[in-house]
Structure 1
Amino acid sequence: MRGKPSFGGSKLTALIVALILAAAGAIVNWLQPSGREGQRPAPPAQSQTPAQGRPGTALAGGIPQGSYTLTGMIVNVADGDTVTLRAPDGQRKIRMDSIDAPEEGHGAEQPGQPYAEASRKHLAGLVAGKTLTAQCYEQDQYGRDVCAVILEDGRSANRAQVEAGYAWAYTARRGDYLRDKAMPDLQRQAKAAGRGLWAQQGAMQPWKWRYDCWRQRQCG
């Protein structure tokens, strides 16, 4: 008896073909790596560490590289070129490198210079109460660390003092104390603009003041 045509064989054939195609696709996908997992993982980014430069090597901005560093809060500003830094191993007195600020008075025998307190206050405004790093070069005969104090924005507080007219470039003894060669030009600019102590007539270098006034008693 004739009835509707049977499609059982065709369906079975179609199913087998579909399974074969699916298996072939899986094999191709397995052999050919996908975009994310098949790529070689990129090497992890390496963190940049500061170069351990030799003393005399310039940092950013041309500031000479120190032979050691001190980091801590500035807890005292004694004058325009001397600060105290509280390091993990205790307090360290820092004599700021390449500059000489007007001398504060030390009694009747050692009177202070004009602009000494203004210099101290300007430096305090830059560094007091801040945690900063100092690039240090040596210790002087008084046990002070001789350093460039680096501000939060990367500038040198030493340079900022000279640039604002509150310290001299330390050119005594033919520049023996002058590591940062940018200082004389900064001083010339401050003097030409009449900034800070350069507003006065006859400003005397602190090293000359210490000799003429304190030692020779010629404070005129």
Structure 2
Amino acid sequence: MSALATSLMCLVVGISDGDTLTVRCGAAPGGYQVQRVRIVSIDAPESRQAFGQRARQNLAQLCFRQQAALRAEGHDAYGRLLAHVRCGGRDVAAAQVGAGLAWVYTPHAARYPELAALQRQARASHAGLWSQKRPQAPWDYRQRHPHR
């Protein structure tokens, strides 16, 4: 149960996009470990997609150069750590979804009813990407544009 119950305090040293960041964990005597972290339960617009840069900027405002509390859930196919992330005491997934800057990742939506409720609120208030007439989900965008 080690990987599923792992909690880490790390410094956020990079923001890749609206749902991926780079952290530095550990202490100087034992050495630092740099890891890419994919936020569990959400999928933000791709960088070239509408609201992709806004999603990245919002995540940077929430977390860049701050301590992040990570609750790890394993790794994805790209080797990134999958984790629940809190910066400044805020649940980052909830902040991104509530701002209309990320979707609840559909395969996991049933596990996160609170995020689904935030997404409904963001959609109803036309926040962020929901201000578009027909926002395109990132998984559909990636399928149509396979080369990043």
TM range (shorter): 0.7 to 0.9
Question: What is the deviation of 1:212?
Answer: 2.3
Quick one: distance in 2 between partners of 1:98 and 1:133?
A: 16
3-state SS of 1:67 partner: coil
Aligned to 1:194: 126
Q: Does 2:135 align with 1:211?
A: no
- 3-state SS in 1 of match to 2:13: strand
TM-superposed deviation, 1:95: 0.3
**Tell me, what secondary structure is at the counterpart of 1:214?**
coil
More strand by percentage: 2
1:51-200 equivalent positions in 2, closer than 5 A: 67-88=5-26, 89-104=32-47, 112-153=48-89, 155-171=90-106, 175-176=107-108, 179-200=111-132
Secondary structure of 2:124's counterpart equals helix
How many residue pairs get aligned? The number is: 141
Change (3 A) 1:178 1:71: farther
Q: Does the Cα contact within 8 Å between 1:69 and 1:136 map onto a contact in 2?
A: yes
- What SS is found at the alignment partner of 1:149? strand
Matched to 2:42, the amino acid is I
Q: Is the 8 A contact 2:62 2:88 kept in 1?
A: no
* AA in 2 matched with 1:74: V
What's the TM-score once normalised by structure 2's chain length?
0.88
Counterpart Cα distance in 1 of 2:56 and 2:111 = 22
Give me the whole-angstrom Cα distance separating, in 2, the residues matched to 1:75 and 1:204.
Answer: 29
Q: 1:128 to 1:103 in 2, by over 3 A?
A: same
For the 8 Å contact 1:99–1:178, the answer to whether it is kept is no
State the match for 1:46 in structure 2. none
1: distance between equivalents of 2:117 and 2:140? 20
Q: Greater RCO between the two (CA within 8 Å, min separation 6)?
A: 2
**Any gaps of 5 or more consecutive residues in structure 1?**
1-53, 56-65, 105-111, 216-220
Assess, with a 3 A threshold, how the Cα gap between structure 1 residues 168 and 144 changes in structure 2: closer, same or farther.
Answer: same
Letter in 2 for 1:196: G
Report matched runs for 1:28-67 at 5 Å.
67=5
CA distance in 1, matches of 2:23, 2:111: 21
**Structure 1 residues 143 and 179, CA gap change in structure 2 (3 angstroms):** farther
